[in-house]
Structure 1
Amino acid sequence: MSSASWHARISCGRDTGAGFLVTERHVLTCAHVVARRDTDSVAVSFAHGGYEEIPARVVAHGGWDGRESDPGDLAVLELDRPVPLKPAEFATPTDAYGDPPRRLLAYGFPKRYDEGTLAEYRATARQLIAGEWVQLESWAAHGQPLAPGFSGAAVTLADTGRVVGMVSAAARSPEIRNGRMLPAQVMARYWPRLADLIPTPDYDQQQKEHLRHLLRQLDQPASAAPAPTGAPEYGPERLYQDAVGPLGPPLPPHRFTSLWDAAWYLLSEVPDPAAVTRFTARLADFVDDTPTRTALRAWPSAPQAHRPDPAPGRPSRGAARDAAHTWSPILVEIAPSGSGDGSFLVEVSAYNGGHRRVVGSRRLPVDRVRPYTLERIDEAYRELSVGARELLAFVLPRRWLNTDVAHWQRSADDDSPLGSFAPLVVLDLERRRSGGLQHKLRQKWQYLDERPAARLHRIDCWSVGQDQVKLTIGLRRDADMVGFATPPRADRVRRLFQASLNAAVPVMLWPRTGCRGEHRCGESVDCRGAEFLDRLAEHLAKLPPRELPRFVHELRETAYASDAPEPHWAYDLALLWEDPECLPDPTGYLHNPVG
């Protein structure tokens, strides 16, 4: 401590205080020490580096406006020239506290001590007063008290000399030997560059600097991401709450003034190291600039280097569960928002080796659902390893399962159908949320993995009048997959469709268009529905169910590329395919982030 050359004496007119060197040209002190900077010059000298005064100017200010209780009592001084002294080093934000208490030292310049003197103190508690200060109390009943001339002094750990904060005030009465410290992490609120120098357990200086630069771009109004249509602007407080979840630390007493302010609070005050990555991932969803969005989602890794490691493999359920045949789904969940305003909740995630990463989650009006979904699907591919077998899985409400998602134009620059780009399946939202049906589906797949082929149950146009309950019970026992001759649009067909879903049938196929099943066409030799089921039996019935998304994808490619005058029989083929092991229940956000 006695040899630390970075302790500084600050002069501003008749006022004298302390400070400390943090870079070769920057010194920190209290704003009230240089309150007369507009009329008097500011000079800095170093206690152990000679008493030559170096002119300095204030380049950053915490916003302190003159009263003792005002926050932001910090000033950053820039020296006229660099000094050949080693700057102060910082401790982690928690190092000032302990049981027994840590002995803290402050090096100040009270009257008659031009060369400086030491005061011994300790932190009363870690709790911040007014969200800004830590109370200091004297280490012993004797010795040097805090007094004028200590303002701006670094508070250091006696055993390491590392800085934990800065003296900002002392008790007015000499009989009360206490004072206040501005902790280092609070100082970094007012001078963000300081955060790079304060150690945090899980993120290094380069990672913090990278994040700070990313957020600085977004904190500038000219480049801020626009809020979603029909929703309030997504501010730092909301992002913070999403990051910590409903059971996490509450919002601090001070309001976040910027995105970086919230991110720094997560880095320095919240014990969960993953909270800040949830913050950056959530923020990324509201950024229009693709490179910035990608960098935020990949932080703290470089975007090109970010690839999730596969999770340890689960016990095999048979040869079909071999890793070479495991799907890596991109999951799209679209559901009504529940607010009655015609908006939808859209969430896009990527699974890789069992790891799930949310790449987008928004509340959107209906006209923005498709472009947003397609854009986030494209970005989700960044989360997949090179050898991953992609699977696009749309989770839709039951009444929308016949939506033509396979025919969506893949992107603004690619007119080809999404279903021709990758294997694509749909899932029923209601069934996915049912614990009982998910359990039955796991049992069904365990059975199917032991069989070379699946049994196809046909529901022809003329059989749509059968009993719904009896069908559910029969399918649970005897069916591995169900083929419908008609789309689930007419009421009678929808009832049988629901019966099949409730029977936990893992595979369902149907034509999106064609006969509505509203008449008896069993006597017709030209029944399109019957022909469709015949083709299904011919092409798919004897294939392993786990590979059906791949075979259907190949059929769609053939259908979309066909030059025949009549549409290919599989042109409108829809596939519902659900394996809970392949698509484990989402665990991304602990609460609704957009409701």
Structure 2
Amino acid sequence: MSGAEWHARVECAGEVAGAGFLVAPGTVLTCAHVALDRGPLTVSFPQRPGSPAVPARVVAHGDWAGGPADPGDLAVLELAEEVAIAPAALAPAVTAHGERKLVAYGFPAGWDEGTLAEYRTTGPVLVGGEWIQLEAWSGYGQPLVAGFSGAAVTLVETGEVVGMVTAAAGAKGVLSGRMMPTDVIERHWPGLAGLVPASGSAPAARRRLRGLVEQAVRAGLDCDPVRLYSDAAGELDPPPPPEGFDSLWSAAWFVQGELDDPETATRFADRLESLLATPAVHRSTARPDWAPILIELGHSGAGEDLVRVEVSAYSGGRRHPVASDTVPHTRLRACVQDGIEAAFCRLTPGAEELIAFVLPRDWLDWPVDRWESDAEDDTPLGLALPVVVTDHVRRRARTRHALTRAWNRLDSRTGASVHRVACGRPGQPSELRLALLESEHCLAGFATAPDAARTSEHFKTSLTAPAPVIVWSRRGCGEPDGCGDDCPGTAFLDELDAHVSRIPPAELPRTVLTLRRKAEAKDGHWARDIQLLWDDPRCFTDPHEEVAHLRSPVARSAPRPAVQHAQLPLGDARFTVA
């Protein structure tokens, strides 16, 4: 799965105590003040919804003396059973300095599934030889508060872990904190040795191997990791473990963390790349080489008039964040235009551009395809380029996994089979879910807009089933109880079925672009207000997608009781354990 599932939530006696991160299939790191002397421990992984919590115990710690200013605030947790999750990739803390955006994933009160905080380092100097000071990336972001202790601090570009949150500013309005860098963690726990690359090692080689493994997993590559390792191993390398490797990921971690010869990892990557380059007879070669520009819009939390905007470009198998801002609605279109212009500089030459808007569910009907292309060109964006939308909630790792499986099956399809959701008698949502899960239908076509009362639950079902493609008209059928043979919604579905029945699902963004252009030239054309929700996770190849995307889908729940915070002095400011 492509999400960073190694983010962990640590609970003590049933109460959320803080965060942690998986560094081996059975090992999680967190802060000592989170885990020591706090009662029975369990660890869960929110990026894998529905997975049970795993009992854990402290097997090592950093000799923390218990005071808020004492060094060694580290606890090593051993899980009662190993989890089939790729551990976090670690990086030397020196890579975090400069204008590098860092992200921490914590569990403050009211955010049981977690929330993100964006920070940067204030410099390379270690405070007290133990900590690196953090400051907020912006003045309006999520502060480091109770629930962030033990959270991995990651580079937003790569998802690599450079440290662990240990403390937060206690003063109101002060957005700063501290992290224990990876080299200090290694000093306190030698078991991390070998997992943190030396600052002089080549990060490009690590990222290359990680990217190739991600690509192989997404492509469903049929590969025996034991045979792959044996082929790459040198004369002095050990044999594979007696139990073998349970995944390609575990083999990759083995060659990077357990072996002394870096050339073995290079050979391993070379052989994997060669396997990926070999054409697979069961996969279609006609799938467009989309180069997506991802535009994430969301409620800012700072006021109804403000919108959070994140723009990224995907090229070379990587996600490249290019713009981030919070703007009023009056400046939203201009901000998006600027972000798209900046993203074009990062696209792979020759690839087909795709504009993908990730929207909150209540904004999915926005006419983003009608927004002006730029300040100097009022051509609607959806007439210049393929424009699609998708739902924020579908960024969940579990949903991405299901969608990837669905798209792998759809590669061999020569047409998009439409499941019609009529306006008059749409049936039960449960029937629609079963049809989308068990039938050959890959496209849910709606005769109504998403907020129509009689089909709104059906629309939610299509989003969560999940249907790879959903299409509707923003005009839809406006009759509250449906209508007869002259229903515009029925006419829309008839035309849609006729136009897409022979179009491979991967080509639908291009087809809808053509339809929009035809509709612009003809009054009353059925596709004038067509909206396409099209979501192929294989186009969004960031291996750390769930970390990097600021709008991680989290649900508010009833707030937990306040946690007591120990005070940590630092000059004129005061810090608390987070």
Compute the TM-score of the two structures, normalised by the length of structure 2.
Answer: 0.47
Decide which structure has the larger Cα Rg and report it. 1
Higher relative contact order (CA 8 A, sep 6+): 2
Compute the TM-score of the two structures, normalised by the length of structure 1.
Answer: 0.46
